[in-house]
């Protein structure tokens, strides 16, 4: 099958490193990025010799100084993160992250050589035209003055996140194709209830380069199964 990147977002949950280590064993694993919580990033770097890449779930918009509780892009780089999710819908919903803040975070990550995985997606379940307009409008604001060759986009319809609902193949294909056409970005992932019952189907959709995975990330056996079957 084609190269298909799986990006696992553990959110504010802990998965013992040993659970992933037991599944991985001595194997080389391609195209898998694990994004544990900040506290576990360093420990998870133990999986890098197996080919597994490590990411963070968020980053500060500031570079250093008196910003209690914040973690900078340089700190992420220094601890071993190669990727960082930015602008996730949960950051927008619960922490009121603005497009302007997301834009600054992306710039800080690129400056440190950490690849941003930029999340966009419509909040209401409607037709493809609505989704394309919504997502392109978001990208227009979020990606101002950004080097587009340095980022990955994750198309995540908000109504599909954690709900078990998934758009049709046609919907996913049309939205991702519009993102690529209007931005020139090469790598676009799908996210939203990607799991055991749909991974083969979604991985086969034209133009989909990978998946951003929430809930299923907490099951290392399932992630390793998906990875070996898709790879």
Cα angle 127, 153, 63 (rounded to 5 degrees) comes to: 135
Q: Look-up: residue for tokens 């996210």?
A: 191
CB of 212 to ligand PEP, least distance (A): 5
| Region for 152 from its dihedrals, namely left if φ exceeds 0, alpha if ψ lies in -120 to 50, beta otherwise | beta
**Residue 229: burial class (beta carbons within 10 Å; 0-12, 13-18, 19+):** exposed
Confirm whether 70 is a catalytic residue. Answer: no
Confirm whether 88 is a catalytic residue. Answer: yes
Provide the binding-site residues for ligand PEP, judged by CB under 6 A: 9, 156, 161-162, 191-194, 212-216
CB of 108 to ligand PEP, least distance (A): 21
Partners of 211 in the β-ladder = 6, 190
Catalytic residue among 61, 88, 97, 99: 88
Catalytic residue among 61, 122, 156, 171: 156
The dihedral built from the CA positions of residue 47, 34, 217 and 206, taken in this order, carries a sign that is negative
CB of 188 to ligand PEP, least distance (A): 14
Our CB check for ligand PEP shows the closer of 75 and 226 to be 226
Our CB check for ligand PEP shows the closer of 74 and 172 to be 172
Where in the sequence numbering do the catalytic residues fall? Answer: 88, 156
């Amino acid at each position: 099958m084609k190269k298909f990147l799986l990006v696992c977002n553990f959110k504010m949950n802990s998965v013992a490193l040993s659970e992933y280590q037991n599944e991985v064993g001595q194997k080389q694993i391609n195209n898998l990025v694990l994004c544990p919580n900040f506290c576990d990033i360093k420990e998870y770097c133990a999986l890098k010799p197996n080919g597994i890449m490590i990411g963070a779930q968020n980053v500060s918009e500031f570079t250093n100084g008196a910003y209690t509780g914040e973690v900078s892009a340089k700190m992420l780089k220094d601890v071993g993160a190669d990727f960082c999710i930015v602008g996730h819908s949960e950051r927008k919903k619960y922490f009121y992250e603005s497009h302007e803040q997301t834009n600054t975070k992306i710039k800080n990550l690129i400056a440190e050589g950490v690849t941003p995985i930029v999340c966009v997606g419509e909040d209401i379940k409607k037709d493809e035209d609505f989704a394309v307009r919504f997502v392109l409008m978001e990208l227009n604001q979020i990606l101002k003055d950004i080097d587009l060759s340095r980022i990955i986009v994750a198309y995540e319809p908000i109504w599909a996140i954690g709900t078990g609902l998934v758009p049709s193949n046609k919907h996913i294909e049309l939205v991702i194709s519009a993102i690529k056409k209007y931005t020139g970005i090469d790598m676009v992932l799908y996210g939203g209830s990607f799991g055991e019952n749909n991974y083969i189907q979604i991985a086969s959709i034209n133009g989909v380069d990978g998946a951003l995975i929430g809930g299923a990330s907490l099951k290392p056996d399932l992630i390793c199964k998906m990875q070996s079957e898709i790879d």
